[in-house]
Amino acid sequence: MKLVEKENCFLIEDFFPLNIIAGFTKPSLKGVLPEDIKEIMSSLGINPDVSSMNQRHSAEIFQVNKPGVYEGDAIFTRQKNHVLVVKTADCLPIIFCSEDTKVIGVIHMGWRSADKGIFENIYKSVFNNKNENTVYKIALGPGLRSCCYKVGTEFLNYPKIKDYLELRKNNLYFDPVKAVKQYTVKNDYNKFSFYDTGVCTFCSDKGFFSYRKFFDNNRTLSFISNN
Ligand SMILES: [Zn+2]
pLDDT of residue 14: 96
Residue 150 CA, ligand 1 centroid: distance in Å? 10
DSSP string, 188-203: TTSEEEEEE---BTTT
Residue 200 CA, ligand 1 centroid: distance in Å? 5
Residue 207 CA, ligand 1 centroid: distance in Å? 12
> Which H or E run contains 82?
strand 82-88
pLDDT of residue 190: 63
Q: What is the model's pTM?
A: 0.95
Residue 148 CA, ligand 1 centroid: distance in Å? 4
Domain of residue 84: give its range. 2-226
The answer, yes or no, to whether residue 189 has pLDDT greater than 60, is no
Between CA 44 and CA 94 the distance in angstroms is 21
Q: Is the Cβ–Cβ distance between 181 and 189 less than 8 Å?
A: no
pLDDT of residue 141: 97
Residue 171 CA, ligand 1 centroid: distance in Å? 15
Report which of 103, 137, 128, 57 is spatially closest to residue 225, judged by C-alpha positions. 103
Residue 196 CA, ligand 1 centroid: distance in Å? 14
pLDDT of residue 7: 94
Residue 135 CA, ligand 1 centroid: distance in Å? 30
Q: Could you tell me if residue 28 is left (phi over 0), alpha (psi between -120 and 50 degrees) or otherwise beta?
A: alpha
Residue 92 CA, ligand 1 centroid: distance in Å? 12
Q: What is the CATH number of the domain that holds 198?
A: 3.60.140.10
Report the 10 Å Cβ neighbour count for 204.
Answer: 14
Residue 48: CA atoms inside 13 Å, Cβ hemisphere, count? 26
Residue 203 CA, ligand 1 centroid: distance in Å? 4
pLDDT of residue 187: 66
* Number of domain units in the chain: 1
3-state secondary structure of 14: coil
Please indicate whether residue 181 or residue 147 has the higher confidence score (pLDDT): 147
pLDDT digits (tens, 9 = 90+) for 54-112: 999 999 999 999 999 999 999 999 999 999 999 999 999 999 999 888 999 999 999 99
pLDDT digits (tens, 9 = 90+) for 5-16: 999 999 999 999
DSSP string, 107-166: EEE-HHHHHHTHHHHHIIIII----TT-EEEEEE-SB--TTT-EE-GGGGG-TTTGGGEE
Q: Above pLDDT 90, what percent of the chain?
A: 82
Span between the terminal Cα atoms of the chain, in Å: 19
The whole-angstrom distance between residue 79's C-alpha and the CA centroid of its chain comes to 19
Residue 83 CA, ligand 1 centroid: distance in Å? 29
Read off the pLDDT of each residue in 108-120 and give the average, rounded to a whole number. 92
